[in-house]
Structure 1
Amino acid sequence: MLTSEPEGAQDVIAVRESAQDQDEVVVVGRIGGSENPWIDGRTAFTIVDPSLQACSDIPGDQCEKPWDYCCATDKLPGATALIKVVDENGDLIKADAREALKLTELQTVVVKGKASRDENGNLTVLANSLYVRS
């Protein structure tokens, strides 16, 4: 956990468009993108580009799980990234992110790490540091 925000953060969409596999990246997004954005028992979760509105950002919306971005599902495929917080050896930390890192849905986080791309173009960031915006 960082006490100050790393410089050069880019939104999820920008990183998805520009980052190549193994590039060092700094990406900013809000935790969410599905009803359950967490990987249970692991320090892994999904983030959504800040340009998308969560249901709680829409006046009068009464969605019970606004972090699922159900009002923007058509935009989610190109606006999300999987974050995996790894240790100094690059191994996924075996602890629940909600408990170990004190994270909650819709928090804005800035993560720094290495981009990992799959054959479908999905973006995973193997994060070695994380900052939570207030």
Structure 2
Amino acid sequence: MTGSLLLAVLLAACGLAFIRSQERRRLVRIVKASAITGIVCYLLGCLQVVTTIPAHACPDLLEPRPTVHLVRYESGLLPPRAICHWDNGARKDFVSGWIDPLLLTSAAVLTAGLVAALVLSHRRHRNHRNHQEGHAR
């Protein structure tokens, strides 16, 4: 668990490294950083899903007559998940717990950045057009 949290902090730090630069390009860098962070995070989650082998990851108890049996193995890539469910209610998730929150955060920052860029572009276009109309009079 500590290793996966360390990896999450390193990924966030790499994303923030893209943001630190010129003031005028900060929004573009935020959009790039959130997109890159989200893509890398998603790929790491998918890697954890495809490398999980249910027969090895989700065994019944190692007894001649196990009292707890595997009920089902659930996996998927959107969102990345690989979960074993046993009949006693226990479950084990093989995708790191920080993957989903970091994916959602990256998607939210990306969406907010794109909306902000669209609004700023619209304002610039409108101000430029108003400026040209003022000179035409």
The structure having more radius of gyration, on CA atoms, is: 2
**Greater RCO, 1 or 2 (C-alpha within 8 Å, sep 6+):** 1
Instruction: Name the TM tier (shorter chain).
Output: under 0.3
More strand by share: 1
Q: TM-score, normalised by structure 2?
A: 0.23
* TM-score, normalising length: structure 1: 0.23
